[in-house]
A and B are shown apart, each in its own frame.
Chain A
Amino acid sequence: AQSVTQPDIHITVSEGASLELRCNYSYGATPYLFWYVQSPGQGLQLLLKYFSGDTLVQGIKGFEAEFKRSQSSFNLRKPSVHWSDAAEYFCAVGAGGNEKLTFGTGTRLTIIP
């Protein structure tokens, strides 16, 4: 079975600074990888996803993520954060032939002026 770990529970960055959120997965073959964002009290919105091909994936709101098979990682990055990026971010992994996604426990992002 697949699993995913988000080692950082809470990250604080200054507005305009760069951001990297970590995600590590466990799965024997190439997984399907997703990043979702959740604003307070809201549902989740897809930022980006990776299935195959180019390991650097571009998403919405200026986010990108890089799949690194050797490190079993799919870290989310943004070169310059905005106050509106404050939210909770979830990494998720899916496996072929399985309708389910497994979500990480999330990373809460706080932006300071």
Chain B
Amino acid sequence: SQTIHQWPATLVQPVGSPLSLECTVEGTSNPNLYWYRQAAGRGLQLLFYSVGIGQISSEVPQNLSASRPQDRQFILSSKKLLLSDSGFYLCAWSAGKRARETQYFGPGTRLLVL
């Protein structure tokens, strides 16, 4: 069966520090991968998605970036965190390349920028 992992589970970082969040998927190949941010009372905001290694689409201009160095690995990064980067970050995967495919979510990373 397929599983999705995210780490760390919780992170407290000072403003201006770098960030690296990792997401890995097991039990499937060539998945679509997604990064979402959930801020309090604002629902889910799609940040990035990837249909293959090295292919990243950005949805929201910001100081975050994403990379997909391996088929089942998706990394969210920042060179300098802002207070507004605080939130709950969710990674998801889907098996197919169409919107009808179910997205399966990881447990999330809670980021607090102080």
Contact = CB atoms under 8 A, between A and B. Distances in A.
Interface stretch (B62-70, B73-81, B95-103): B95-103
A98 B99 CA distance: 5
B41 interface: yes
Contacts of B90: 43-44
Interface in B97-113: 97-100, 102-108, 110
Contact of B100 (A51, A90, A106): A51
A65 to B, nearest CB: 15
B44 interface: yes
Interface in A93-113: 94-106
A43 B99 contact: no
Interface string A28-66: 000010101000011111100101000000000000000
B41 to A, nearest CB: 7
Interface residues of A, number: 26
B43 interface: yes
Given A42-B108, A44-B90, A34 B102 contact: yes
A62 to B, nearest CB: 19
Top 9 nearest A-B pairs by Cβ distance? A94-B99, A43-B105, A105-B43, A103-B44, A44-B105, A32-B100, A98-B99, A43-B107, A106-B43
Interface of B: 32, 36, 41-44, 46, 49, 51, 59, 90, 92, 94, 97-100, 102-108, 110
9 contacts: A44-B44, A44-B90, A49-B100, A51-B100, A94-B98, A99-B94, A102-B46, A103-B46, A105-B42
